[in-house]
């Protein structure tokens, strides 16, 4: 497998070229009722490396959110769609040894990496489970239920929120963070940048997701009966560093899905990825990640 190395990447973010990648195009898993769930972003180990970069970019605003909503030692937390566990570990540090955190995801490859990392970090208060919020119900055992960049991929995000609430203790806290792709910006104008946004948006919509779901979050919580709903908007942008790297990395990781939907040719995508990396390396350009809406509230007694 040929690995394309761009000067902007560190050793742990070398993503295999889509032209020769053996990774699956989307994460697919059949549930007990026979449904298949599709995610447009590549899963497995390669997808995990992109998530590490994204987690570092998002860490300041997510930690500020946790401080604002009052994550405290001793809480029981559920991280739905936890991926490789980046936020799960942050929650584990905040709730301490008297608290506990459970991470759910449908990508066993990422979960296995997360379990290994939990052992390396000596996080005895963390458990990772292969479960799907679109199908799984359970007992109301959590003080906090959290999901970041999950609902955007789901055909039925409203149903997923309803299931999350059923897992919460009375007066429990639900916290959501998700994207609004329509809020992107760059400077100066880049045709490659806007083509990437167009392709991501079209691919997500064809798979039944909503790439602009962020502004819907407060209303979804209100409709579900959540009380004391609040919201905040955050967006990272920069002229250097990993913020700019997110866009070409994401484009690389959706190539197979874009091809499967017939939205672009292999040649166009190869050129597009090169142009996105070139834009990212230029210290005179500015690029953002999607606008992100944070919404939270409490379950009634």
Which phi and psi (to 5°) does residue 178 adopt?
-155, 170
The dotted CATH code for 22-181+209-237+291-298 is: 3.40.50.150
Query: Of 14-23, 66-75, 124-133, 185-194, which range is least confident?
Result: 14-23
Given a cut of 60, whether residue 9 has pLDDT beyond it is: no
Cα gap 254→60, rounded to integer Å:
26
63 to each of 56, 94, 103, 153, 294, how far by Cα in Å? 11, 10, 17, 23, 12
Beta-carbon count within 10 A of 203 CB: 23
Which phi and psi (to 5°) does residue 293 adopt?
-100, 130
Cα gap 32→55, rounded to integer Å:
31
Cα gap 262→175, rounded to integer Å:
36
SS3 annotation, the chain: CCECCCCCCCHHHCCECCCCCCCCCCECCECCCCCECCECCCCHHHHHHHHHHHHHHHHHHHHHHHHHHCCCCCCEEEEECCCCCHHHHHHHHHHCCCCEEEEEECCHHHHHHHHHHHHHHCCCCEEEEECCCCCCCCCCCEEEEEEECCHHHCCCHHHHHHHHHHCEEEEEEEEEEEEEHHHCCEECCCHHHHHHHHHHHHHHHHCCCCCCCHHHHHHHHHHCCCEEEEEEEECCEECCCHHHHHHHHHHHHHHHHHHHCCCCCHHHHHHHHHHHHHHHHCCCCEEECCEEEEEEEECCC
pLDDT class of 38 with cuts at 50, 70, 90: low
Q: Once rounded to an integer, what is the mean pLDDT over residues 176-195?
A: 98
The domains of the chain are located at 22-181+209-237+291-298
Residue of 91, 199, 219 whose CA lies nearest to 151 = 219
On the CB side of 200, CA atoms within 13 Å amount to: 30
Q: How long is the chain?
A: 301
Given a cut of 50, whether residue 13 has pLDDT beyond it is: no
Q: Please, are residues 143 and 72 in contact by the beta-carbon 8 Å criterion?
A: no
Tens-digit pLDDT profile for residues 211-240: 999 999 999 999 999 999 999 999 999 999
Contacts for 262 with CB less than 8 Å, ≥ 6 apart: none
Q: Once rounded to an integer, what is the mean pLDDT over residues 260-268?
A: 97
Q: Is the pTM of this model over 0.95?
A: no
Tens-digit pLDDT profile for residues 188-198: 999 999 999 99
């Amino acid at each position: 497998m040929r690995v394309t190395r761009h000067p902007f990447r560190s050793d742990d973010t070398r993503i295999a070229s889509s032209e020769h990648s053996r990774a699956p195009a989307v994460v697919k898993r059949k549930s007990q009722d026979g449904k298949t769930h599709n995610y447009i972003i590549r899963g497995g180990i390669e997808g995990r490396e992109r998530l590490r970069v994204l987690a570092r970019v998002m860490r300041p605003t997510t930690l500020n959110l946790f401080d604002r909503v009052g994550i405290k030692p001793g809480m029981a937390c559920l991280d739905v769609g936890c991926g490789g566990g980046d936020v799960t570990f942050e929650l584990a540090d905040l709730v301490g040894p008297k608290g506990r955190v459970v991470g759910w995801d449908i990508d066993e490859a990422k979960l296995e990496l997360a379990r290994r990392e939990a052992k390396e970090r000596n996080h005895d208060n963390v458990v990772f489970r292969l479960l799907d919020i679109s199908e799984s119900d359970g007992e109301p055992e959590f003080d906090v239920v959290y999901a970041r960049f999950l609902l955007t991929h789901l055909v039925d995000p409203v149903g997923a929120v309803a299931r999350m609430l059923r897992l919460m203790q009375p007066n429990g806290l639900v916290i959501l963070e998700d994207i609004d792709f329509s809020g992107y910006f760059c400077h100066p104008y880049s045709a490659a940048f806007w083509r990437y946004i167009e392709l991501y948006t079209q691919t997500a919509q064809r798979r039944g997701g909503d790439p602009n779901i962020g502004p819907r979050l407060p209303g979804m919580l209100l409709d579900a009966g959540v009380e004391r709903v609040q919201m905040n908007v955050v967006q990272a942008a920069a002229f250097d560093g990993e913020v700019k790297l997110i866009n070409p990395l994401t484009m690389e990781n959706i190539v197979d899905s874009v091809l499967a939907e017939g939205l672009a040719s292999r040649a166009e995508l190869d050129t597009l990825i090169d142009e996105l990396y070139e834009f990212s390396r230029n210290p005179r350009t500015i690029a953002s990640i999607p606008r992100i809406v944070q919404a939270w509230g409490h379950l009634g007694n």
